[in-house]
Amino acid sequence: MKPILAFVAACAVITACGGGGGGTSGPNPKNLSLSGVKIPTSEVVSGVQLMCSVAKQAHTDPAGSAGPFYAAPHNTMHQLVTVLHPAHRAASDKLLNAMYVYESDIAATPPPPATGTDADNLLQAAMEGLTALQVTPPTCPS
């Protein structure tokens, strides 16, 4: 039930906040707008970069990837969903759905075998979201 509540909460945040569009000042805007609040682009990119490690861990230790996910990239993913929503609805929806699937995986005991793949899908959706906002996504270390 917990993942469903997270999904409903994310939908409520999107509806309440209304989000803000990405920057248009070049390939890497300095800030992204979240309901008029400026979020440094570097913070969002760093959060997505942290998702690289979580996705890698999800392949070898699916249950252990939950802590690092909720400690760091989780909030960034929600911010990115909300920032994307007004001008990039499809990318926002794709990211939100990928988050829901991955969070459902890590809430299960034990997490399903697809957890690593679902973490990869979440990472890919976040990268695509950054690209939609004209932000260069980070490169994940091998």
Q: What is the pLDDT of residues 84-137, one digit of tens each?
A: 999 999 999 999 999 999 999 999 999 999 999 999 999 999 999 999 999 999
| Residues above pLDDT 70, as percent of the chain | 81
- Average pLDDT of the chain is 85
Residues in the chain: 142
Confidence category of residue 59, pLDDT binned at 50, 70, 90: very high
| Cα distance between residue 84 and residue 63, in whole Å | 29
Q: What is the mean pLDDT of residues 47-58?
A: 98
- pLDDT at position 27 is 59
Q: Which residue reads 């800030």 in tokens?
A: 31
Residue 121: CB atoms within 10 Å:
19
At 42 the pLDDT is: 94
How confident is the model at residue 12, as a pLDDT?
Answer: 34
